[in-house]
Amino acid sequence: MSENVSGKRYILALDQGTTSSRAILFDEAAQAVGLAQLPFEQRYPKPGYVEHDAMEIWETQREAMRQCLQSAGVRPDQIEAIGITNQRETTVIWERDTGKPIAPAIVWQCRRTAARCDELVQDGWAEKIRDKTGLVVDAYFSATKAEWMLNRSPELRERAAQGELLFGTVDSWLLFQLSGKRLHVTDVTNASRTMLFNIHTLDWDDELLELFGIPRAMLPDVRPSSALYGETDAAVFGARVPLAGIAGDQQAALFGQGCFQPGMAKNTYGTGCFLLMNTGDRPIASTHGLLTTVGWQIGDEVTYALEGSVFIAGAGVQWLRDELGLIQDAAETETLAYSVPDANGVYLVPAFTGLGAPYWDPYARGTIWGLTRGANRAHIARASLEAIAYQTRDVLDAMEIDSGMALQRLLVDGGAVQNKFLLEFQAGVLGIPVVRPEQFESTARGAAFLAGLSVGFWPNLEHLTKLIGTAATVFAPQMEESQREELYQGWKRAAHLSRGWLQES
């Protein structure tokens, strides 16, 4: 990065993801002018269990901030505001006084509370929870994770009731640390992913708190996504800087893509795959396995969204690399996919932690169907990319039915959008154009936008729309309708055959 001109002002976005902590610096033109990224350990103590060390999350995030500013030649006092975007649902419980976690963070992917979710459904809670929260009953969300952590001893629950222990998603955890242990705050988007928050009243729901045994005393205050929450502690950050924007990673990407109008949608291809559609100022209840969630809140105005969550997208490619050793680098899948005319009838269903929307089957497991003697690693690599596209179509079909809105194009972001084959196949299997913006950093940019709006760094949404611009690569569908449907029907059969594996074993 070039040496900074003294006096220029910036917005710093903290993008705390599932596998790495990132810090991205944005200038007034919304261009990324500094970036640092640090990975951290993924822990799998038992099959289906996924954990993080919350202190390692904070330490890597703090170091990423330091490296980002240093590489750009920017001082902490030149930061106008900080915005946070984060892996959602991941649950941290920590001591108010010491700031130390009581246990490892339970990650959104973790399935340890699947049986508890089955109990809730059997006891008739599914409809009530959906009506209040917009969510399906699933181990994906925070409520059963926090309940599990508190259930480890009566003493923990008593301390929580006294307010000695604090619960939060990763945004709350970072805000607490950044503020020198002064702030315990979240925003409506993260709150809406806990299965404890009523998306109609915009408050924690007392009936659900009682159901899960979560004392209100341990919960963060819920604020809009663009608001002045407080300031960084100068000893922590090097200056007192406004903490002014928060959104869960997928809502931040929706905002960062400029999906400000109802009917606009984006898909983020990361570890998982997350498709969100702006539905305006009203929550739309899904009858096809989608989630109704808060998109963002600015002032008193709340924007809602429909969401479909695919648990395994890029993580499926990582599996080919790290566990099977079929590739050395994720980028190899593009070359391998192009080296064969088709997948040779092979379908890979990456249900390593169950299937997300619209199936919501925690007992599905990963499978490869259609193998013959002629199947090789190129076919399997291609099938892993095709699986991402098929799962996206699963979600989009459900979304169009629920919303009554036909999508004209799909905006995309995330690490995997650099894979040209994936986007060409995605356009083909959807039958609509797929649009990749010039800047891939939609998630971090969304957090920066929310923070910048609250401190007047940027004036309004119209200004942000101009900053996003129109520079993009468009992938038009090239597939015949008959081929599209034949391939997709094969996928649906493969997905069906992968379901209920654990129950049937």
**DSSP per-residue codes, 152-184:** T-HHHHHHHHTTSEEEE-HHHHHHHHHTTS---
The strand pairing partners of 277, in sequence order, are: 265, 306
Q: Which of 130, 121, 170 is nearest to 16 (CA)?
A: 170
Which residues are annotated as part of the binding site for glycerol?
Answer: 88-89, 140, 249-250
Task: For the chain, give percent helix, strand, coil, nearest 5.
Answer: 40, 25, 40
Helices H / strands E in the chain, number of each: 18, 23
Q: Which two tokens stand for residue 418?
A: 């650099």
How far is the CA of 321 from the CAs of 231, 330, 353, in angstroms? Answer: 42, 7, 18
Contacts of 193 (CB under 8 A, 6+ apart): 88, 89, 135, 141, 142, 169, 248, 293
Q: Determine the Cα–Cα distance for residues 57 and 146; give it in Å rounded to an integer.
A: 18
Q: Determine the Cα–Cα distance for residues 361 and 214; give it in Å rounded to an integer.
A: 26
The strand pairing partners of 279, in sequence order, are: none
What is the torsion angle, in degrees rounded to the nearest 10, for the CA atoms of residue 422, residue 423, residue 427 and residue 428?
-30
Query: HSE of 257 in the Cβ direction (CA atoms, 13 Å)?
Result: 29
Q: Which of 9, 72, 86 is nearest to 452 (CA)?
A: 9
Which residues are annotated as part of the binding site for ADP?
Answer: 18, 22, 271, 314, 415, 419
Q: At how many degrees (to 10) do helices 314-322 and 377-403 cross?
A: 160
Which residues are annotated as part of the binding site?
Answer: 18-20, 22, 88-89, 140, 249-250, 271, 314, 318, 415, 419
Going by their DSSP bridges, the two strands 265-269 and 165-168 should be labelled as unpaired
Which residues are annotated as part of the binding site for ATP?
Answer: 18-20, 271, 314, 318, 415
Q: Which two tokens stand for residue 337?
A: 């996919």
CB 170 within 8 A of CB 176: no
Q: How far is CA 113 from the centre of its chain?
A: 20
Which residues are annotated as part of the binding site for sn-glycerol 3-phosphate?
Answer: 18, 88-89, 140, 249
